[in-house]
Amino acid sequence: MRRGFLLTMLLAVLASPGAGQQSDRRDIESKLLALEKVGKLQAIQLKDLKMLNEVLHENYVLVDQDGSLLNKAQVLAYVGKATSMQYFVSEMTVRLHGNTAFVTGVYRLNGVVAGRRIEQRVRFIDTWVEKEGKWVTIASLSTPLT
């Protein structure tokens, strides 16, 4: 009887942190998905450079679909030149590794930049890191889908 009680108590103690960790993990994943949708994509659509500036790390780097390398200032300038940009996102998932996360997904972009019409379907991966309690994007990679 006593052995059964101790075993039950041990299992309860071991299971409790896991349940809390799972909840924390889901909270972080939800937060990152919201940051992707609102902090990045909606900020780009609305040309909210202030919000975009907050979610992109100072040393942010983007490897674009054509292989070009853009830093934070170049991305902000590109968004500033856009007449319109509209994103439709699907298949987004978050993979957490400590204070680093990888968000993968697919987006379709319709827009006008510098008078040129843009229509793209792209698979992406964004690398996020938690710094001082705040999640920021440090790197992105985009590749075209046919």
Flag whether pLDDT at 10 surpasses 60: no
When divided into structural domains, the chain yields a total of 1
Helix (H, G, I), strand (E, B) or coil at 13: helix
Region 56-82: mean pLDDT is 95
> What tokens appear for 51 in the block?
């919000």
Helix (H, G, I), strand (E, B) or coil at 91: strand
CATH number, position 16: 3.10.450.50
Flag whether pLDDT at 136 surpasses 90: yes
Closest to 143 in 3D by CA, of 121, 111, 126, 116: 121
Amino acid found at 126:
D
Range of the domain at 110: 2-144
**pTM over 0.85, yes/no:** no
Flag whether pLDDT at 18 surpasses 70: no
Query: Among residues of the chain, what percentage have pLDDT more than 70?
Result: 86
> What tokens appear for 135 in the block?
């999640």
Number of helices and strands (H, E) in the chain?
Answer: 4, 6
Tens digits of per-residue pLDDT, 19-66?
456 778 999 999 999 999 988 988 988 999 999 999 999 999 999 999
The pLDDT assigned to 114 comes to 80
